[in-house]
A and B are shown apart, each in its own frame.
Chain A
Amino acid sequence: GAVVSQHPSRVICKSGTSVKIECRSLDFQATTMFWYRQFPKQSLMLMATSNEGSKATYEQGVEKDKFLINHASLTLSTLTVTSAHPEDSSFYICSARDRGEEKLFFGSGTQLSVL
């Protein structure tokens, strides 16, 4: 089946720095990718929909200037957490849909810890 690769799996950074998370579809083209955030013992919360070649669509309450999304190619979307603060510490997950399949494939997630 299709594979979505997400890196890094874990990152620890100081408050005020920016962190970039990559999401790649390894063996298929994904015109749309989704970014989620998950706090401990909670469900996944959709943050934004990343569209190749155009601006991302953000969910209500998600700051677009803080969570920068770039989907420059059909196989890569990046999420940059700018000027990260401790409250941004969370588990971030991306997903993508292979048009040949009828399901979403998820990355393995990135645990962000901001000190």
Chain B
Amino acid sequence: LAKTTQPISMDSYEGQEVNITCSHNNIATNDYITWYQQFPSQGPRFIIQGYKTKVTNEVASLFIPADRKSSTLSLPRVSLSDTAVYYCLVGDIPAGGYQKVTFGTGTKLQVIP
């Protein structure tokens, strides 16, 4: 499984765009990149998933360069409720079977009023 590296923490003011970058230098050909959000005392919640280039949904955008060795989660105009830990996961999740997913350290985002 590809190891991921993220910043431990980030601070941002309300209303700003936040970009969290994840490094995954040994990503495999079949691996997808998935981001999860976790609030205290809750299970992680899916945010976005992608394989290459750019993916956008109603919550966030995910930018993946051509070499796929990193990815950037972009949260537009964050609010206080976006304060959470964000995890970048890399693995062949769509393949199903018994692929297990391991979590890295995550990035604790603190949104400041």
Contacts and interface: CB of A to CB of B under 8 A. Distances in A.
Contacts of B97: 32
A109 B96 contact: no
Contact of A109 (B32, B43, B101, B106): B43
A77 interface: no
B13 interface: no
B68 to A, nearest CB: 17
A36 B45 CA distance: 14
Given A6-B43, A108-B42, A43 B104 contact: yes
A93 B100 contact: no
A109 B41 contact: yes
Q: Report whether over half of chain B's contact residues are helix, strand or loop; otherwise say mixed.
A: loop
Nearest to B48: A103
Contacts of B93: 97, 102-104
A46 B102 contact: yes
Interface residues of A, number: 28
Interface in B47-76: 49
A103 B34 contact: yes
Given A43-B87, A103-B93, A95 B102 contact: no
A102 B103 CA distance: 17
Nearest to A111: B41
A67 interface: no
Interface of A: 1, 4, 6, 32, 34, 36, 43-46, 49, 51, 57, 91, 93-95, 97, 99, 102-109, 111
